[in-house]
Amino acid sequence: MTITAIIMSNKPKSNRKWENTMAKQPLNEEHTLPSLSLVLGYIAIKKLQRLEDRIAILARLGYGNAEIATICNTTTTIVRKSVRNAHPP
């Protein structure tokens, strides 16, 4: 996910006087706020101890594997295996 900031700059146009134009610059992701859905996911599982329980709750809430992995600080492979073991075919 790339986040951009809009910066106003004064650049001369051909025969026109100075005019405000918009330029996009990427922001560092470490300086941005986390997504609200990720924050709500953290809140939903903050008191659970077992990773399997955390994954099960987030899966029931409709989070995808990538989001669950981000919230639980694990990999998508572990999330997929845990979800598959919780709901065998």
- State the total domains in the chain: 1
Query: Residue 19 is inside which H or E element, if any?
Result: strand 18-26
Domain for residue 3, yes or no?
Answer: no
- Look up the pTM and report it: 0.60
Q: How far apart (Å, rounded) are the C-alpha atoms in residues 26 and 30?
A: 12
Contact 57, 48 (CB under 8 A): yes
In terms of residue numbers, what domain contains 52?
36-86
Domain for residue 77, yes or no?
Answer: yes
Domain for residue 1, yes or no?
Answer: no
Domain for residue 4, yes or no?
Answer: no
pLDDT tens-digit profile, the chain (89 residues): 444 444 444 555 555 555 555 555 565 555 566 788 889 999 999 999 999 999 999 999 999 999 999 999 999 999 999 988 877 66
Domain for residue 73, yes or no?
Answer: yes
Domain for residue 31, yes or no?
Answer: no
Domain for residue 21, yes or no?
Answer: no
